[in-house]
Amino acid sequence: MGRRTRMRFVRPPPSNFYFPRDIDNSLKDKSVILTIAEFEAMRLKHYRNLPQGEGEHGQKTCSETMGVSQPTFSRILDKAHQKVTQALVEGKNILISGGNIEVKEIFNGYGCLNCGAEWKDELASKNRKISCPNCKSEKTYHLIKEPL
């Protein structure tokens, strides 16, 4: 019996045909199903061009971004490549669903230069002037944190 699968950290997947909420049984036979973690591994490695091994100048690697070891990331990416290749060769649909994941949301808000506080605000923008809720300082800045 293998070990329990660790949580993989991913950004919210897009909403389209490839990411169905429920997979119909009629689609299963005509499709290859990629897990969201496999999709995220391909996105980080091939779309974002993050390094798979050692990161240069403090750059996060793919495995660090997903919260897994480098060998585990390599296995996830290999499995994704196998499934995509199978879909291309056999003319099957690619559906992306499932897996042990935690979705990371984008943080949009403000930070305070005076006390260091950070707070979320969905209406945050560079042009909006706001004071810190903790220390009431006017020395605030717009803060966006991308999840991955």
pLDDT in tens, the chain (148 residues): 566 666 666 656 555 555 555 566 667 778 888 888 898 899 889 988 888 877 665 667 888 888 888 898 999 999 999 999 998 898 888 888 777 666 666 778 899 999 988 888 877 888 888 899 999 999 999 887 766 5
DSSP conformational letter for 31: E
Residue found under tokens 């949580």: 7
Q: List the end-to-end C-alpha distance of the chain, in Å, as a whole number.
A: 32
Name which of 22, 12, 31 is nearest 101 in CA terms. 12
Closest alpha carbon to 144 in 130, 125, 117: 125
DSSP 56: G
Q: What's the whole-model pTM score?
A: 0.59
